[in-house]
Structure 1
């Protein structure tokens, strides 16, 4: 049967969504309670991690696509991170009205240190609940959802 024409199971889709959101909320509570967030908050780390993934200066819109913050909230956070010397701003060579953002050495150091601790925490939590094959399945399914 054509994928477009198949009947959508609304109840199943919403139960799957609720399970995904519940798992996310539960894990975020566990991660938030850990000691790694002394120098930087989880949301600030998310911004630093997004910048680190890009590896080169990027526009604010590119950071925005990788974090769960509104544009005004992200702008304020970038201001605070820049004042603390963790994020650098430079003019965009293509568009003089725009700026490009990157990590400073200190921002990269904090991102790496917190990132190592956070990665170990994620691994502990997922390993306690899932087999390696289930983690591969989760990665695959989440990637498919993110690609839509």
Structure 2
């Protein structure tokens, strides 16, 4: 059985580390280029074939509600960062595609953001980074019966 106090200490440490690292790395984002949420949308979209993703897949990767994602996507379309159209394979769904301008803005920010992440994470060895990745993936799995 897991030591309850150790579990709480580990959780608090993980939470505080995430908060501090996110605070440092979040400085890469500015509303005049891309917000963190817009970056997340474009991250999902640009990874898709032809820089296109289903809206439901974008929503699944976001940490905000579906209505908030829909409003964000509409604002991004208005800004010319993405285009939204009906999904020919799903009459109720929509596809989101990065425009050339959106993809270029994303690539420019992604390069700087990647450097900032690598610099902040350089406190850990490659072995520790792999271990952290594997442990956090394990934490994201659901317990049986939940």
TM-score normalized by the length of structure 1: 0.84
CA distance in 2 between partners of 1:92 and 1:72 (Å) = 18
Q: 2:111 aligns with which of 101, 110, 116?
A: 116
1:135 is matched with which residue? 129
Match of 1:32 among 26, 35, 41: 26
Alignment of 1:13-32 (within 5 A): 13-32=7-26
Please say if residues 87 and 103 of structure 1, whose CA atoms lie closer than 8 Å, have aligned partners that are also in contact: yes
> Between Structure 1 and Structure 2, which shows a larger proportion of strand residues?
2
2:4 maps to what in 1? 10
Q: Partners of 1:76 and 1:63 in 2: how far apart?
A: 13
**How many correspondences in the alignment?**
140
- TM-fit CA distance, 1:58: 2.5
Segment of structure 1 superposing worse, 42-51 or 110-119: 42-51
Task: Return structure 1 stretches of 4+ with deviation > 4 angstroms.
Answer: none
- CA RMSD, aligned part only? 1.7
How do 1:74-89 residues align onto structure 2 when only pairs under 5 Å count? Answer: 74-89=69-84
Q: CA deviation at 1:75?
A: 0.8
Q: TM-score, normalised by structure 2?
A: 0.85
